């Protein structure tokens, strides 16, 4: 992960970051350990706030990763159809909302 992060910052810095969830999970782990070990300054208020703010993103990422892994294991590349259909439905809904606005 360190190499990937370095490449992202040095070689392809003009592109979107490729390690965003790595940073989020690392920070959440640091915050959780600081709270658990009592090492967080200000009695862990900032660590708790940051941890709760990142929890939905980390949870969603985890669910998506498991869904993708199991979907690929069970259905192969055809499992990509599910997110494609969801995106198409969202685009259709967005188009309808813009048309009525």
Whether the Cβ atoms of residue 47 and residue 26 lie closer than 8 Å to each other: no
Q: What is the pLDDT of residue 73?
A: 95
Q: What is the pLDDT of residue 41?
A: 78
Distance CA 49, CA 32 (A): 11
What string of pLDDT tens digits covers the 101 residues of the chain?
A: 677 777 777 787 787 677 788 888 888 999 899 899 988 778 788 889 999 999 998 999 899 899 999 999 999 989 889 889 998 999 999 888 888 86
Q: What is the DSSP letter of 12?
A: S
Q: What is the pLDDT of residue 100?
A: 81
Number of neighbours of residue 72 by Cβ within 10 angstroms? 13
Q: What is the DSSP letter of 40?
A: -
Reported residue count of the chain is 101
Q: What is the pLDDT of residue 1?
A: 65
Q: What is the pLDDT of residue 36?
A: 92
Token pair belonging to 7:
């490449």
CA 79 to mean position of chain CA atoms: 20
Number of neighbours of residue 84 by Cβ within 10 angstroms? 9
């Amino acid at each position: 992960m360190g190499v990937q992060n370095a490449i992202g910052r040095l070689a392809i810095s003009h592109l979107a970051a490729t390690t965003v969830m790595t940073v989020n999970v690392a920070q959440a782990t640091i915050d959780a350990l600081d709270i658990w070990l009592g090492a967080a300054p200000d009695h862990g208020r900032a660590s708790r706030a940051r941890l709760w703010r990142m929890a939905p993103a980390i949870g969603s990422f985890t669910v998506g990763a498991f869904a993708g892994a199991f979907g690929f294991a069970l259905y192969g590349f055809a499992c990509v159809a599910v997110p494609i259909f969801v995106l198409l439905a969202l685009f259709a809904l967005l188009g309808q909302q813009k048309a009525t606005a």
